[in-house]
Structures are given as structure tokens and as C-alpha cells.
């Protein structure tokens, strides 16, 4: 009886893990598609319309306003207060914005052909930082590193092709 | 050389940002976290743009404002929020390579919409990305 319960429990756990994986992939590919589409739009419609810093400011203003409107109810419902969580996300936003500014500066000084492959290596930095700072939270396996290396190599080939 | 150094710093900043998000997701929800990160990024960018390029901000055309608006909505409420959701479900190790495949979608879209042709190096890049995604996604948890 207990073995049957245990089997049923395992089955539920496996299907729940599979569902989480599928949802995660759906969200991940959705994000990649959004970023990919905005890259094409940037390349074909707004390059030259404004300096990159101004463009980033306007895009971020629209994006933040849009997201704030979309999440009004979730924010009102959320009773969560976490200074640590707020700090991590605020720093994440700052580092992300810093990255954009540094990229613009780099692109003003150097050639896209040389810089694009360098910029594409950011997943490898993520894995290095994750292995240092996420011990006990997440396991970065050799297989995940191998997958990231292949993706980065592919992106490098695409950007210089 | 300076340009390469700045590009490395940019890549490292994005990499560090992803790990900070993963740490933040242990404390607050994806929605609130996305809003906080967008707000912090906006304040930083706004200060720089308004101080350093005020004239250029004033000279923006309505068309440019609207086009940047479309890009902003694609990048931030959609791209960033979905990215953080993926991180919360897959972890940073698995979601990062998935997100890094964005240029693949840019290439496919360029082929479909603008009629760009697929050359051999592009196909090789696509093959590498797809195999990397397969290796990452099928990695045991």
C-alpha cells in the first residue's frame, strides 16, 4: 500500500517537474523571441533616430510605464516586504542598465564585428558568477556549461556571419 | 583595446545581473522583482540621458518616441518579465542559454520579414545554437 502511494507520489513529482520545465522553456523562448524581435526592429527602424542612450531612456520609460500598468493589481495584492529581495532586484536593474551603457560606449569606440562576439559571451559570465554565488541554490553542471558554450559559439558565428 | 574591455565589462554586468535576479527570486515574486529592476534601471538611465544628452532628448521626433515605445514594450514588460519567469522555473544555469538564443529568432525574423538569405555560416550558427539548447535542456536536474 505504502509502495503504491510512493509510486503515485513519484509520478506526481515527475509530472510536476516536467510541467515546470515546459513552462520555463516557454517563458525562456518567449523572452528570447521578444528580444530577437526588438533587435530586428532596432536594426531596421530606429538606428540613427536618436543616440543610443536617449533611445534606451525612452524605451525603458515606455517599458516601465507599461509594466507598472500591467502589474498594478499584482502589486496591490502582494503583501510581501523583503528588503533583501528589493536590494537584489534593484542592483540587478542597475547592473543591467550599466551593461547597456557600457555596450554603447564600446560600440562608439570599436567595431561591431569585433565587439558583438565579446558581448555574446555574457551567458558564460552568468555561469561563472552563479557557480561562485549560488552554491547551495543551484548546481552548474559540466553539461550546462557545455550547452552554454555551444549556444555562445553559435551566437558568435551568427554575429560575424 | 578599450572598446573590448568595455564590451567585456558589459557582458560581465549582464552576467552578474542574472545571478542577482536569481538571488532576489528567493525573497520576492517575479512581478514585483521585475518592477523594481525596471525602476532602478530607469532612474539610472534617465539621470545619464537627461544630464548628458538633454538636447537630444528634446529633439526627439514623435515617430522615434513611438518606435522606441514598441521596442521598450517588447524588451521590458515582455522580454524581461518572461526572462525572470524562466529563471524562476529553470534556474539561472538553464535559462541563460535559452535566453542567449535571441539572435537566432532575430535571424529567423529577418529571413521571414525582410527576405534576408540564409548563408552557410548562418546555418552553422543556427545548428550550434540548437545543439547547445538541446544539451542544456536535456541536462539532468
DSSP string computed for B106-130 = HHHHHHHHH-----HHHHHHHHHHH
Residues A40 and A55 in one domain: no
Burial readout A55-92 (b: 16 or more C-beta within 10 A, e: otherwise): bbbbbbbbbbbbbeebbeeeeeeeeeebeebbbbbbbb
At A8, the pLDDT band (50, 70, 90 cuts) reads low
Cβ pair A115:B3 closer than 8 A: yes
- pLDDT value of position B19: 95
Q: Can you give the C-alpha Rg of chain B in angstroms?
A: 18
Average pLDDT in the A51-55 region?
85
Length of chain B equals 141
- pLDDT value of position A86: 92
Taking chain B (141 residues) in runs of 10, the rounded mean pLDDT of each run is: 89 94 92 93 93 92 89 86 93 90 84 82 92 88 69
Residues A66 and A105 in one domain: yes
Statement: residue A1 has pLDDT above 60: no
At A2, the pLDDT band (50, 70, 90 cuts) reads low
Contact status of A52 with chain B (Cβ, < 8 Å): no
Chain A residue with CA closest to B99: the answer is: A32
Residues B80 and B59 in one domain: yes
Higher per-residue pLDDT: B56 or A16: B56
* Domain tally, chain A: 3
In-domain check, residue B48 = yes
Residues B71 and B116 in one domain: no
| Domain span at A63 | 50-109
Residues B80 and B105 in one domain: no
Cβ pair B98:A29 closer than 8 A: yes
Which of B91, B110, B126 is at the close of a domain?
B91
| CA dist B19 → A3, A72, A131, B88 (Å) | 40, 26, 10, 11
In-domain check, residue B112 = yes
Average pLDDT in the A69-73 region?
85
Residues B81 and B120 in one domain: no
Contact status of A9 with chain B (Cβ, < 8 Å): no
The ipTM assigned to this model is 0.86
Cβ pair A115:B4 closer than 8 A: yes
* Domain tally, chain B: 2
Residues A62 and A38 in one domain: no
Residues B34 and B78 in one domain: yes
Cβ pair A29, B97 in contact under 8 A: no
Residues A55 and A81 in one domain: yes
- pLDDT value of position B15: 93
| CA dist A11 → A15, A21, B8, B36 (Å) | 6, 15, 45, 38
Closest CA to B27 of A82, A93, A92: A82
Of A86, A118, A140, the CB nearest to B7: A118
Residues A116 and A149 in one domain: yes
| Domain span at B105 | 101-141
Residues A97 and A133 in one domain: no
Statement: residue A83 has pLDDT above 70: yes
Residues B40 and B85 in one domain: yes
CB proximity list for B57: less than 8 A, separation 6 or greater: A54, A57, B49, B50
| CA dist B9 → A79, A98, B52 (Å) | 37, 9, 21
Give SS3 for A84: helix
- pLDDT value of position A11: 65
In-domain check, residue B53 = yes
Statement: residue A35 has pLDDT above 90: no
> Which one of B68, B79, B83 would you mutate to disrupt binding with A, by most A Cβ within 10 Å of its Cβ?
B68
Amino acid at each position: 500500500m505504502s509502495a503504491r502511494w510512493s509510486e503515485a507520489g513519484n509520478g506526481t513529482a515527475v509530472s510536476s517537474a516536467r510541467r515546470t520545465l515546459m513552462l520555463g522553456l516557454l517563458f525562456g523562448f518567449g523572452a528570447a523571441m521578444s528580444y530577437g524581435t526588438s533587435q530586428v526592429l532596432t536594426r531596421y527602424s530606429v538606428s540613427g533616430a536618436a543616440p543610443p542612450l536617449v533611445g534606451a531612456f525612452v524605451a525603458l520609460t515606455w517599458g516601465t510605464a507599461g509594466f507598472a500598468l500591467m502589474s498594478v493589481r499584482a502589486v496591490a495584492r502582494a503583501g510581501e516586504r523583503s528588503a533583501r529581495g528589493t536590494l537584489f532586484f534593484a542592483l540587478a536593474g542597475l547592473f543591467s542598465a550599466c551593461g547597456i551603457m557600457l555596450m554603447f560606449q564600446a560600440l562608439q569606440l570599436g567595431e561591431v564585428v569585433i565587439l558583438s562576439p565579446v558581448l555574446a559571451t555574457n551567458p558564460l559570465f552568468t555561469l561563472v558568477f552563479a557557480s561562485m554565488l549560488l552554491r547551495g541554490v543551484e548546481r552548474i553542471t559540466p553539461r550546462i556549461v557545455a550547452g552554454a558554450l555551444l549556444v555562445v559559439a553559435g551566437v558568435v558565428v551568427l554575429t560575424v556571419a | 583595446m578599450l572598446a573590448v574591455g568595455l564590451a567585456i565589462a558589459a557582458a560581465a554586468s549582464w552576467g552578474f545581473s542574472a545571478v542577482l535576479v536569481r538571488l532576489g527570486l528567493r525573497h520576492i515574486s517575479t512581478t514585483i522583482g521585475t518592477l523594481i529592476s525596471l525602476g532602478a534601471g530607469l532612474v539610472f538611465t534617465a539621470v545619464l540621458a537627461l544630464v548628458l544628452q538633454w538636447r537630444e532628448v528634446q529633439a526627439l521626433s514623435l515617430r522615434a518616441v513611438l518606435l522606441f515605445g514598441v521596442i521598450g514594450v517588447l524588451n521590458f514588460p515582455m522580454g524581461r518579465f518572461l526572462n525572470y519567469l524562466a529563471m524562476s522555473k529553470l534556474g539561472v544555469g538553464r535559462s541563460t542559454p535559452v535566453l542567449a538564443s535571441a539572435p537566432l529568432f532575430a535571424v529567423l525574423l529577418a529571413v521571414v520579414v525582410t527576405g534576408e538569405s540564409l548563408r552557410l555560416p548562418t546555418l552553422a550558427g543556427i545548428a550550434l545554437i540548437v545543439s547547445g539548447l538541446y544539451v542544456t535542456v536535456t541536462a539532468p536536474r
